[in-house]
Amino acid sequence: MSRTDVDTGVAERPQAPKAAAKPSRPRPPLSREVVETRILGVLKWVTIAFFLIATLFPFYYMVMLSVRAIEDVALDPGALWPPRGASLNAFGEVLRSVDDGGQGFLIFLRNSAVIALASVAVTLIVSILGAYAISRLQFFGRRQVHFLFLAVYLFPAILLAIPLFVFFTRIGLRGSLFGLILVYVSQIVPVTIHMLRNYFDTIPQGLEEAAALDGASRLTIIRKIALPLAMPAIMATSLFVFMIAWNEFLFALLFLVENRENWTVSLGLSQLAGSIEVSKTTLMAGSVILTIPIIILFFATERLLVEGLTSGAEKG
């Protein structure tokens, strides 16, 4: 027995051998699904960022040009931040009447709003009834009529412009807002009937049959069942028609160019672009005024555009 054992009075216990360290298991290789999910997740945000920049940057630069003085634009046209002397003078010049030294865009905005809203109202009245008839009613030539509506778009607009110009000149409607509304409606109704007909086909017919058994008439079924369920498609169609009527230029140029009091915003903007005396800041201010109503309208109706009101309408 060693001296240490005698001093402590406790025998030293032999230490157990240390367990051998377990070898670390290699990580299993990532599956193809996980790799694709991660790559697509990154590519999704990269794509979204790219399209956001490509969409918002031109509008942002247009706004910056509209609030800068023409002297600053000439010295540094690529500046992305507004200088200290930024002002809204260009917007005032665009909106003032011609008698006050402006461009008279308030009148153009009024004309464009009247044309766009009237085109939406008339187009929806005709398209809803026509699309519902093609979707629900059985009559001779039903499929042929549907394809004949789309056949209108086989011809370019410039081909139809000349006959329409001659016809409206002879009946005395050239130069009037009413004549231009009729042209827009005749051009847009075929495609809107096609859009709404496809949506009416998705509405369960059982709901309408149940209402008919309760004594509801066809117009009551359309008003109380078909229209509420088709509201997302109607809102999307309304926005589509409004944008076409608001931004259209060719027919507005042919029918209204001789009467400045009836010009639309797009026609007035084209005259600014072709004028040497008008500064580019004023032109950019007019472009902003042309764009903002569409942006406001889109965000105001975004919820109805993406909301599916037919989900859960009929239980199986």
Does the residue 242 lie in any domain? yes
- Would you report the helix, strand and coil content of the chain in percent, each value rounded to 5? 70, 0, 30
Note whether 53 and 263 are within 8 A (CB): no
Quick: pLDDT tens for 39-60.
Answer: 887 888 899 999 989 988 888 8
List the structure tokens of 287.
């472009």
Q: How many domains does the chain have?
A: 2
55 and 112 fall within a common domain: no
Candidates 19, 3, 204, 244; CA nearest to 117 is 244
**Assigned token pair, 28:** 């299993």
Confidence of residue 4 (pLDDT cuts 50, 70, 90): very low
Q: Tell me: pLDDT of 306 over 70.
A: no
**pLDDT at res. 211:** 85
Which residues neighbour 133 within 8 Å (Cβ) at sequence distance 6 or greater?
Answer: 139
Closest by CA position to 62, among listed 282, 230, 300? 282
Note the pLDDT tens digit of each residue in 125-145.
999 988 888 888 777 777 777
| Residue 260 covered by a domain | yes
Judge whether 233 and 245 are in contact, CB under 8 Å.
no
Whether residues 62 and 143 share a domain: the answer is: no
10 pLDDT higher than 60: no
C-alpha 170/C-alpha 155 separation (Å) is 23
Both tokens of 85, joined, read 């002397």
pTM of this prediction?
A: 0.77
Q: Tokens 């008698």 map to which residue?
A: 99
CATH of the domain at 183: 1.10.3720.10
Question: Is 311 a domain residue?
Answer: no
Is 22 inside a domain boundary?
Answer: no
Domain that holds residue 41: 32-87
| Model confidence at 315: pLDDT above 50 | no
> Do 114 and 206 reside in the same domain of the chain?
yes
On whether both 185 and 279 belong to a single domain, the answer is: yes
DSSP-assigned states of every residue in 114-179? HHHHHHHHHHHHHHHHHHHHHHH---TTHHHHHHHHHHGGGS-HHHHHHHHHHHHHHTT-TTSHHH
Q: Report which of residues 301 and 170 the model is more confident about.
A: 170
Phi, then psi, of 68 in degrees rounded to 5: -100, 155
> Average pLDDT for residues 121-125, to the nearest whole number?
94
Query: Which of 184, 194, 198, 185 lies closest to 148 in space, CA to CA?
Result: 194
Is 18 among the domain residues?
no
